[in-house]
Amino acid sequence: MSKKIIISLLVGVLMSAAALYLAFRSVPLTELVAYLGSIAYLWIVPSVGLVVLAFVLRAYRWQLILKSAKRVGFRQAYHPLMIGFMINCILPGRVGEIARPAILKKEQSIPFSTGIATVATERIFDMVVLIGLLAAVFSKVAQRTDLNIAFGGWHLNSRVLEGAAGAMIRLAVVLLIALACLAFSATRRRVVRAIEASMGFIGTKIRVLRPKADKTSRFLIGMVEGFAVGLGLVAHPKRALACLGLTILIWALSALGYWTFSLGCPGIHLSYIELTTVMVVVCFFIALPSAPGFWGLWEAGGVFALALFGVPAKDAAGFTLVNHAVQMFPVILLGLLSALITSANIWQLTFGGKKADPTADKSQRSVVHEHS
């Protein structure tokens, strides 16, 4: 295991431990155990069904994104996707995102750089929808004038949430404009020239930094070209709209899974929109570095979000803990099944798949030019 993975794991464990402390510090263990015993676990069945359906749609969306690079069957998209998400659930650093393009390269001869670009494109769709949802739900919650929530030394009121919602809307607009600019070859060339000029200036003025400047320049240009590849793969308007629609449906189903499970949980009497708020807040919490499986940050995000709606800490902690398992364990089991079906070597994909594809730059540039 590499030094970076070990450091990532240690940082994640520390953050998860701190988050677990914040989430459960006010909940006596006996009360938590009693609450866990009061849950109607039969509601897990439809909730798990919704989780599986959401991942089926994710696989279909990825298949659409891959279409311009190479037509792949649904199963050829589904198995790498489930293996990647399974690895994200059991290992730190979201290294599962590397496994997916590694499998595509091995099984479908799709360049590693192209695979990475398609994964990045997926994340762009998810990010835009989640930011939009966060702005919308925070705007709704912010209408409560009596809101004043204390969590881990922070205090949230309607004014803070209104500011957060406005910032999220502006961030979404800036993100969309920036991505749209990268989709056009003329704008992209200007960005590349700006990077080369700035890094070249640093390397010229401070000669000792020239190797670092050159390396940074190549890295930044590679990122720009990588995103351009991903955007080019969904440049067809109908396909882009289909991917956006699928993304909205994926997150709607995920929120429905939260709401369905809540029907069996005492004290969680929230609407679908309110549980959507909980899901979105959890997603932003687990974007931070954490231990494998997002343990700790998931619970902290859930307890905090449920506090916005007056749910007692005991009920919030019990619901969030079990719902975390409901959302995660099916993904791990399906990923392991996909690994068995495809005979994928998880260790090699995780720690060997990071090695750069020797033809990556060449393949990436050729695809960029094709879609310019």
DSSP H or E stretch at residue 209:
none
Sequence-separated (6 or more) residues with CB below 8 Å from residue 193: none
At residue 153, the pLDDT reads: 54
Q: How far apart are the first and last CA of the chain?
A: 40
> Confidence band (pLDDT; 50, 70, 90) for 253?
very high
The token pair at 334 is 């399906």
Stronger pLDDT, 65 or 233, i.e. the higher one:
65
Q: How far is CA 255 from CA 138, 278, 279, 282, 293, in A?
A: 16, 9, 6, 11, 19
pLDDT tens track for 147-188: 555 555 555 555 655 665 566 667 667 766 776 676 677 777
Statement: residue 352 has pLDDT above 50: yes
The token pair at 314 is 């005991």
The token pair at 356 is 């750069």
Average pLDDT over every residue of 40-59? 96
> What residue has token string 């099944």?
337
Average pLDDT over every residue of 72-82? 93
Q: Can you say how many angstroms the Cα of residue 263 is from the centroid of all Cα atoms in its chain?
A: 26
User: What is the rounded CA–CA span in Å between residue 135 and residue 163?
Assistant: 10
User: What is the rounded CA–CA span in Å between residue 318 and residue 315?
Assistant: 5
User: What is the rounded CA–CA span in Å between residue 293 and residue 306?
Assistant: 21
Percent of residues, the chain, with pLDDT higher than 90? 27
> Confidence band (pLDDT; 50, 70, 90) for 4?
low
Stronger pLDDT, 256 or 355, i.e. the higher one:
256
Kindly report the pTM of this predicted structure: 0.77
Average pLDDT over every residue of 121-135? 84
Mean pLDDT is lowest, of 61-65, 187-191, 235-239, 296-300, for 235-239
At residue 337, the pLDDT reads: 94
Domain boundaries, given as residue ranges, for the chain: 3-20+28-370
Task: Name the DSSP letter for residue 357.
Answer: P
Statement: residue 214 has pLDDT above 60: yes
Mean pLDDT is lowest, of 68-72, 188-192, 226-230, for 226-230
Sequence-separated (6 or more) residues with CB below 8 Å from residue 279: 251, 254, 255, 258
The token pair at 159 is 């004014």
Stronger pLDDT, 56 or 168, i.e. the higher one:
56
Q: Can you say how many angstroms the Cα of residue 63 is from the centroid of all Cα atoms in its chain?
A: 18
Cα angle 113, 119, 121 (rounded to 5 degrees) comes to 105
At residue 372, the pLDDT reads: 38
Give residue 140's identity as a one-letter amino acid code.
Answer: K
The token pair at 240 is 């882009």
At residue 121, the pLDDT reads: 84
Average pLDDT over every residue of 62-77? 88
Mean pLDDT is lowest, of 229-238, 244-253, 302-311, for 229-238
CB atoms under 10 Å from CB of 146, counted, come to: 7
Strand ranges (DSSP E) for the chain?
Answer: 148-151, 154-157
At residue 52, the pLDDT reads: 96
Please give the torsion angle defined by the CA atoms of residues 281, 283, 284 and 288, in that order, rounded to the nearest 10 degrees. Answer: 140
> Confidence band (pLDDT; 50, 70, 90) for 275?
very high
At residue 232, the pLDDT reads: 67
Three-state helix/strand/coil letters over 244-291: HHHHHHHHHHHHHHHHHHHCCCCCCCCCHHHHHHHHHHHHHHCCCCCC
At residue 3, the pLDDT reads: 65
**Nearest alpha carbon to residue 121 among 227, 225, 224, 219:** 227
pLDDT tens track for 306-339: 888 888 888 999 999 999 999 999 999 999 999 9
State which of 142-146, 206-210, 359-363 shows the largest mean pLDDT.
Answer: 206-210
Strand, helix or coil for residue 8: helix
User: What is the rounded CA–CA span in Å between residue 353 and residue 83?
Assistant: 13
The H helix count followed by the E strand count for the chain is: 15, 2
pLDDT tens track for 192-207: 888 888 888 887 877 7
Statement: residue 251 has pLDDT above 90: yes
**Nearest alpha carbon to residue 241 among 54, 58, 65, 56:** 65
Stronger pLDDT, 303 or 266, i.e. the higher one:
266
Statement: residue 8 has pLDDT above 50: yes
Strand, helix or coil for residue 154: strand
At residue 150, the pLDDT reads: 55
Sequence-separated (6 or more) residues with CB below 8 Å from residue 53: 253
The token pair at 191 is 């960005």
Statement: residue 358 has pLDDT above 50: no
